[in-house]
Amino acid sequence: MPELATAVRELSFGEAIKEAIAEEMRRDPTVVLMGEDVAEAGTTFKVLTGLVDEFGKDRIIDTPISEAGFTGIGVGAAMTGMRPIVDIMFGDFLMIIMDQVANQAAKIHYMSGGKWKVPLVIRATMGATRRSAAQHSQSLHAWPSHIPGLKVVVPSTPYDAKGLFKAAVREDNPVVIFEHKISYRKVKGPVPDEDYVIPLGVADVKRQGTDITLIALSSMVQVALGAAKMLEEVGISAEVVDPRTTWPLDEKTLVESVKKTSRCIVIDEGYFRYGVTGELASVIQEQAFFDLDGPVRRLGAMHVPIPFSPPLEDATVPTERQVFDLVRQMVNR
């Protein structure tokens, strides 16, 4: 993170995203945002409140409950001179739009031999523990990460969210950005009141350490940082690295960190099986095998549909305590 000016404001994660969208819409008149109840309602999470007052209903566009329909419009409009942002209220609804995302947006550039471009942003949410049950709580960023032609952004801090979102809007490729919905209000941090972009594909070391690397994404960055603090008290120095985008992936930064610490846990809120943790663990083991003191370990969401009841739901998501315990076991201290 660059040097911040002395009087940098604190914004919430949600406020940072709204500021990114507003700045990009001021900068580029071809940017519009469309989705369900995005205008006067400011989305169900109230993240966009007030944008319609500045940009009007022609640019902050309420749609019918028709995710595939308006995502398809986003794809076509992106091909023909616009930079639409499509708002998918819950990441779980990604399945509804997946043909438009994975078969259309992702492949059009390649299938056309590089002739058509699809500068489309799809913003979706992720994250459990909001007591919303199995169809409103999933973290599905592994799905678009699997598809060539897409870029996938999973910001963890307000600063990153603003810079990455602005980069996504300026991308000539389709980008899916997953906003952690618990973070909207809960996570606050310094955000410069100025124009800056964070390039997609550059990881960020959130905390320096020497004994173990915790690779964490989105909500799990806060969990990893919390665990690192607990570990510090018992004399273990944990480094926390946030890839910030699952694709493009900054393999170099991840591998360098693990080569330095010789141990690694990958922590993600997506389903544990066949997901982001497995992919990142493979990258580490392929490129840092001889520097490792032991196998790369993984923590992810349990392989169950997210349950409703609080004690059940809370059991599905990795916690600071779990990270702490696993690190101590691996470091043997």
Partner 1 sequence: MSTAATSKAATPIPTDTLLRLYRQMVAIRLFEERVNDLYTRALMPGLAHLYIGEEAIAVGVCEGLRRDDYITSTHRGHGHCLAKGASPDLMFAELLGKEAGYCKGKGGSMHIADPSTGNLGANAIVGGSAGIATGAAFASKYLKQDRVAVCFFGEGALGQGLLYEELNLAQLWKLPVIFACENNGYNEYTHFSESTAGDVILRAQAFGIATETIDGQNVRDVHAAASKYIERARKGDGPAFLQFKTYRYHGHHVGDIARAYYRPKAEEQEWVTQRDPITLHGQWMMDNGIADRAQLDAIQQALIEEMDAAMQFAIDAPYPDPSKVDQDIYA
Find the shortest distance in angstroms from Cβ 104 to partner 1.
6
Minimal distance, residue 119 CB to partner 1, in Å? 8
- Closest to partner 1 by CB, 92 vs 239, is 92
DSSP code, position 93: G
CB closer to partner 1, 109 vs 123: 109
Cβ distance to partner 1 smaller for residue 48 or 106: 106
Q: Which part of the chain contacts partner 1 (CB under 8 A), choosing from 4-12, 35-43, 44-52, 111-119?
A: 111-119
Q: How many CA atoms lie within 13 A of 111 on its CB side?
A: 9
Instruction: For residues 238 and 261, give the distance between their C-alpha atoms in angstroms, rounded to a whole number.
Output: 8
Residues 44-83 touching partner 1, rule: CB under 8 A, are: 58, 63-64, 66, 68-82
β-bridge mates for residue 265, sequence order:
214, 297
Is residue 293 left, alpha or beta, with left meaning phi > 0 and alpha meaning psi from -120 to 50? alpha
When asked if residue 246 is in the footprint of partner 1 (CB under 8 A), the reply is no
Phi/psi of residue 35, nearest 5 degrees: 175, -175
Q: What share of the chain is helix, strand, coil (3-state, %, to 5)?
A: 40, 20, 40
State in angstroms the smallest separation of the CB of 171 from partner 1: 8
Minimum CB separation of residue 98 from partner 1 in Å reads 11
Cβ atoms of 140 and 274 within 8 Å: the answer is no
> What tokens were used for 219?
């909500």
DSSP designation for 169:
H
Active site (annotated) includes residue 136? yes
Residue 116 sits in the site that holds partner 1 (CB under 8 A)? yes
Residue 92 C-beta: closest distance to partner 1, Å: 18
167 binds partner 1 (CB under 8 A): no
- Cα 206–47–226 angle (5° rounding)? 25
Give ∠ CA 328-180-266 in degrees, rounded to 5: 30
Residue 12 touches partner 1, criterion: CB under 8 A: no
Query: Is 156 a binder of partner 1 (CB under 8 A)?
Result: no
In the bound state with partner 1, the residue whose beta carbon lies nearer, of 88 and 330, is 88
Q: Which residues are catalytic?
A: 136
Question: Residues interacting with partner 1, by CB under 8 A?
Answer: 30, 32, 58, 63-64, 66, 68-82, 84, 99-100, 103-104, 108-117, 119, 148-149, 151, 172-173
